[in-house]
Every structure is written in structure tokens, then in C-alpha cells.
Structure 1
Amino acid sequence: MVVKGFILSLLIFPLMVFSAVKEELLQLQVVTEILPPYQYIKPDNAMGGLATDKLNALFSALQATPDIQAMPWARAYKIAQTQPNTLIYSIVRTPERESLFQWIGVLVSTKTFLVGLQARGDIEINNLRDLNNYRIGVKRDDVVYQYLNKHLLPGKMVFLPETETTLKMLIKQRVDIIAASPLHLDFMCKRLGCQPADFRYLYELTGLNSDFYLAASNNTPADIVQLLKQTLRQLE
């Protein structure tokens, strides 16, 4: 009977551990912004996109479903710094942000360019100082804003709530330049009825990391962060 009880305990213990881990996973909230084609709201109101698909695959491997909440980036960024059990994506990893989050892993990779209208032949960017001759549409607290803020005069930045709005403002010539990736620009043109040929890539922001990460708030349990890291690596 003692042997049977011992064997039974060996079978039950892993189940108890998995149950506890799953309970912790269910307590996680995931915050993000609308940033097509990486993350966006589908017609059925579910979140979709390249980064979202990778996130869903990660949680599926752990037999869980992520609680994803879309909101303006500045709000998501603040929540992920202040609230426990919080994940954020897609976020670029920079030296300034390194200590603000626990970095889980890369979901997708991209390149970021400064973009203007093809019809605006008067715009020329040879270095970042040249940006001070133009109005730049940015999202507050996003990585482009943080990067350009070192080079731009404050009055040259026009703060906008989300990425789709930056493109709309560029089309209306309310701003002269925005930041975008080719994937994002192509996707947004399909939604807004513009053509990628309507735009001109002015300058690649080579100083920016091209990887979009999943990260966790610093007060998220370390064992859960480690589990997410290991599982994400296995999906690569």
C-alpha cells in the first residue's frame, strides 16, 4: 500500500504543478496597441496579426488562452510598467527600456523607415538633424518617439494616438513625415485605399532594433517569465 501511495503521489504531483502554473497563466493580462499587420482587431472582434499569431501559438503550447486588451500605446506602456502579471507586445527592446521590463523573446522582426508622400519632392533627409525642418507625426512613448526625441526640437513633433492616425495625417499633409515599416504601410494602404507607390522611403532608422518583443512587467513572477521564454524558444 505504501508503494502504491508513493506511485500515486508521483503521478499527482506533476498535475498539481501544471495546474498551479496554468492558474498563474490565466492571471496574466496582455496589453498591446493596434499596429497592423502585427496586431489588429479582426471583423469578429478577435485580435489577429503576425505578432498575435505567434503569441497565440505560445499560449496554445501551454494550453492557455491570452487575455489581450488593445489600447493606445502610451496607456499600454504605462500599465506594463506598473501592474503585476502583465505582458506587452509588440515592443522594441532598447537600452533605455532594458530595466523597465522582463524580456521574453522576439515575436517578429521588421525595419523602420521615415516615410513621406511621393508628391513631396521638397523633403530631403540626409541625417536626423534635417528632421527639424519638418513636422513629424509620432505616438507618445513609442520607440520612434523615444529615439527621435534625442534629435528633434519639441515643436517639430505632432503627437498622435495610434499608428493608423499617423498615416491618415500624412495623407492629409497635416504632418510631413511619419515612421513605418514596409509591411505596415502595405497593410494600411489596403485599409485606407491608398497605394504604397504614393509614399517615399526617406531614411532608414538603422539605430533602432528591428525586433518586436514580448515582454513582462517587472513584478510578473519570474517562474512564469522563464516558462514563457523556454516555450517561445521551442516555437522558433
Structure 2
Amino acid sequence: MEIRKGISSVVLIVIVCLSALFSFASRAQTLSYAYVHNFPNSFSQADIDTIDLYSIDLLKTASSSIPLEAKHALEHEPREPQVLFNLIRDDKNEQDYYWVSPLFAFDCEVGMTCTPNAGGPSASIAVSYIAIDKTKVSFEYAERLSELVGQYKSTSEFSTQAQEIKDSLKKSFPSAEVTHGIISFAGRLHADANDLWIIADIVPLFSERGERGELKGIAADLVQDVLDKMALSQEILSAPWERIAKESMSKSNVLVFSIIRTDERDEVFHWITPVSRNMHGLYGINKPYFDSFDEVPRTYRVGTLLADYRYDVAISKGFRVKAYDSWQALVTALINNEIDTVFGSQGAIEFGCNPNQFKCETITLTSKYDTSTAYLALSKKDTCVLVLEKLKLAAAEVKMSEKFNERLSSWSDMVSQEYGIAHHTERGVVHLWNPN
């Protein structure tokens, strides 16, 4: 199956060891973290100390299944990911960090950095975050921590913790409120999601039209549950990827799925929650296996889908490339020796190959390229960042719900029995390859 694709006032740096942090890590991992203090002058040192303690306690509690051990201050290694607490999100640093979860919001005073599109067009609000600087190894940390914090913010335990911090800061901030998992010193935060425009990219089994025109599939089910959680009644529309891309670049509040996350698309989309992951590579018949993609002979004729990012990748790598309009056409071209390899995934091969007409198991991986993740995403242009956070919290709740997980399990059984597509699920995300 295929889915289209200035820090100031840092007062403390310590090293945090995260042993056995994620399923992808078999050895001990480390993250350094620092507190960033860009608060208004009205904040006392006692207030800042309380805020710092709350911030680290929130992360530790949210990731309680992960052993955390604070060590003495050490010099931060540039290649190591670094967690920053209470970094204000602004238009200058937007692309420099992975924004894990918001912590506090406050009125943006003269001379301060403000967060664009926070609280409405006339609001001047600064929102501070748990953030992770972008390095080659920090993305998976950021994604996992974002997931854990989002889940924790959906619990009564978080509500109790947030209420306690509100009470301890009552003298300085008597009007503090908790909205969308954020402690706001600027009054109630507004995140109007009523004008969301929801568009799906049609993908078999994930989001496709039924006999009566209704959108069905596990991705569509996830999004509908998110809308229900937020008490929204918008219809889920569908459109080709080209139309989705155009609308997302030019309009605010466009909610789209399922879209492959890439560095280039970071400027266009906010990423809400992953839907599926896919391992991509070249697949051929009776072809040798190459450990590196760069070792594959450039004389190979490579087939891709029309208007697919892999077409550009194959061209840039120097292959002879031909594009087709469906996976069935691609696999047929491979069988007929019109091309030497298909640039896709195991799920795409299985979807495009008819086992009644060909021994599909003879089509094997020639060389691995990468693993991609498809997301539920929100257009960035003029979109209120608080709407993003509201959607992320709703998605975290849905993925923890018994209703969605039962539906995911039934969908997985159906995909295995009726289509024989290799896959497994982890934490509400479909991985389109066998686990072992």
C-alpha cells in the first residue's frame, strides 16, 4: 500500500539519559536540555523557578515509562539533540526546531518576540514550547515525545498537575487558565476550528470512496473520530494531490491527509499525527540485491507513478525513468520487461500484482531507499497555531481510545485476509511491512 509523500538567558544545561527510549533504539540514548527564559519583565525569579520545575516535571511524567536520570552539567555536543523548555515559537525560529508541545502563553509586551497566528488576528500572544533542535537524529525523539506529551495532556493527572501550578502562581497571575493543554497568563485562548476545510488524498484502503460516495478507510476513520472529538461537523472532501498542494499553500485552515512528511513540506504544513509508515526501494525480478541505493547500476530502467516524488528522486540519481498511472500498470511493465525495477514499496507491489496471473513472490527488493511517514497535516498559511494544538490533543485522545483501536484491529485483519498485504500496527500507526 502506498501513500503520497536566537536562544537567550539559558540558565541551566544538564544531560538526560533516555535508556531504551524508543523501539528503534537498542542502545542507551542521551538528550541534553536547557531552560530558555524569554519571559516578560514582570515575571519574578520565583515565578520562573516554578515554571521551570513544572516544565521538566511535565516531560518526566509524560514519559514515565522511559528511565530518566539527571546528571551533572556537561558541555553540549553539537551533534546531540537538545530539548529546550519554554522557547517562544516565532516566525524566525519556526523552521529551526521540532515543536513538541506548548507550555505557557502570555501577553507579548513591547520589544518581545511574539508567536504569529496565536489567539486570533488581533491578539499579541507569545507561546512557549518544549522544542528540540533539528539534527540528523532528533526527529524520532521529537515525534515520540510529542506523542507522549499529547497523550499525557489528555489525562486527569495532567489536569491536576496544571491546577497545582495555577494555584502556586495565583498571586502573580490571578487570571491564569488552562486551555488546549496550555497554561495561559493572557486569559482564555481562542482556537476557532469551525472553518476547517478537510481534504483527503484518495488512497486505497486508507481513504477511498464507497459505493454511496462516502469516504471510508482507516485514515478517514481516524480523521472522522478527531472531528467528532472536537464537535466539528465538516464534510471530508477528496481531491488529487496537486489540488491539495495548491490549496494548502494558498489558504489557511486546510486539514489534509495522508501526506508524506518531507523537509520541503515543513514550510507548508503543520504535522498533527502520523497515519502510516512505508519502506521504499527498488523492486525487480531476478535482480541482485544492493546494500546501498547508490550502488544500483544507472543503466537500470526505473518505473514510478506519475506525479510522484520518487520520479524526481530517480531522475536526480541518474536512472532512466518511465512513469505510469497506477501500480497495476507499473507491475505489468516490470513483468513485461519494459522496466528493470519499480520504485515503490512492498505494499505497492502486492497491491499492483495479480497472484492469479503471476508469481508475485518473485518480485523482490533490489535496494532500500528510505522510510516515509504519512500524516494528518494542517496548512500553515495564516492558520492559528492554537488550532494545531487543539487538533494534536484530539488526535492523541483518539489514538488512545478503545473505539479507534478496535476499528484499527478489525481493519488490519481485513487487510491481511482479503488482500494479503504485509503490515503491522504500532501505537495507532500502520507500518506497511512485516515486523520481522
Q: Do the aligned partners of residues 165 and 230 (structure 1) sit closer, same or farther apart at CA in structure 2, a change above 3 Å counting?
A: farther
Q: Which has the higher strand share?
A: 2
Aligned residue among 305, 308, 324 for 1:139:
305
Q: Distance in 1 between matches of 2:337 and 2:243?
A: 27
2:207 and 2:220 in contact (8 A); partners too: yes
| Shift in Å, 1:105 | 1.6
Q: Distance in 2 between matches of 1:170 and 1:220?
A: 45
Q: 1:6 matched to which residue of 2? A: none
Q: 2:263 matched to which residue of 1? A: 95
Matched, 1:46 2:211: no
1:37 and 1:184 in contact (8 A); partners too: no
Q: Which amino acid aligns with 1:179?
A: F
Q: 1:178 matched to which residue of 2? A: 342
Aligned residue among 152, 167, 174 for 2:318:
152
TM-score, normalising length: structure 2: 0.41
Matched, 1:30 2:199: yes
> What are the equivalent positions in structure 2 for 1:2-41 lying under 5 Å apart?
21=192, 23-25=194-196, 28-32=197-201, 34-41=202-209
| Shift in Å, 1:69 | 1.0
Q: Do the aligned partners of residues 161 and 187 (structure 1) sit closer, same or farther apart at CA in structure 2, a change above 3 Å counting?
A: closer
| Shift in Å, 1:181 | 3.0
1:136 and 1:176 in contact (8 A); partners too: yes
Q: Do the aligned partners of residues 197 and 214 (structure 1) sit closer, same or farther apart at CA in structure 2, a change above 3 Å counting?
A: same
Q: 2:414 matched to which residue of 1? A: none
Structure whose alpha-carbon radius of gyration is higher? 2
Q: Do the aligned partners of residues 131 and 81 (structure 1) sit closer, same or farther apart at CA in structure 2, a change above 3 Å counting?
A: farther
1:113 and 1:181 in contact (8 A); partners too: yes
Q: Which has the higher helix share?
A: 1
2:215 and 2:236 in contact (8 A); partners too: no
Matched, 1:212 2:374: yes
Q: Distance in 2 between matches of 1:174 and 1:74?
A: 27
1:37 and 1:183 in contact (8 A); partners too: no
- Higher mean displacement: 92-101 or 135-144: 135-144
Q: CA RMSD in A?
A: 3.3
Number of residue-to-residue matches in the alignment: 207
Specify every segment of 5 or more residues in structure 2 that has no aligned partner in the other structure, as ranges: 1-187, 400-436
Q: Distance in 2 between matches of 1:193 and 1:52?
A: 32
Matched, 1:86 2:250: no
List per-residue Cα deviations over 1:105-153 (Å, max 9, x = no partner).
211223223222xxx3256544323252222222355343354444234
TM-score, normalising length: structure 1: 0.69
Q: Which amino acid aligns with 1:159?
A: A
Percent identity, aligned pairs only, is 20
Q: 1:108 matched to which residue of 2? A: 276
Q: 2:237 matched to which residue of 1? A: 68
2:302 and 2:340 in contact (8 A); partners too: yes
Q: 1:13 matched to which residue of 2? A: none
1:74 and 1:142 in contact (8 A); partners too: no
| Shift in Å, 1:38 | 2.9
Q: 1:10 matched to which residue of 2? A: none
Specify every segment of 5 or more residues in structure 1 that has no aligned partner in the other structure, as ranges: 1-16
| Shift in Å, 1:227 | 1.9
Q: Do the aligned partners of residues 22 and 213 (structure 1) sit closer, same or farther apart at CA in structure 2, a change above 3 Å counting?
A: closer
2:292 and 2:368 in contact (8 A); partners too: no
- Higher mean displacement: 81-90 or 186-195: 186-195
Q: Distance in 2 between matches of 1:176 and 1:56?
A: 41
Q: Which amino acid aligns with 1:62?
A: M
Q: Do the aligned partners of residues 134 and 200 (structure 1) sit closer, same or farther apart at CA in structure 2, a change above 3 Å counting?
A: same
1:59 and 1:66 in contact (8 A); partners too: no
2:354 and 2:360 in contact (8 A); partners too: no
| Shift in Å, 1:194 | 5.5
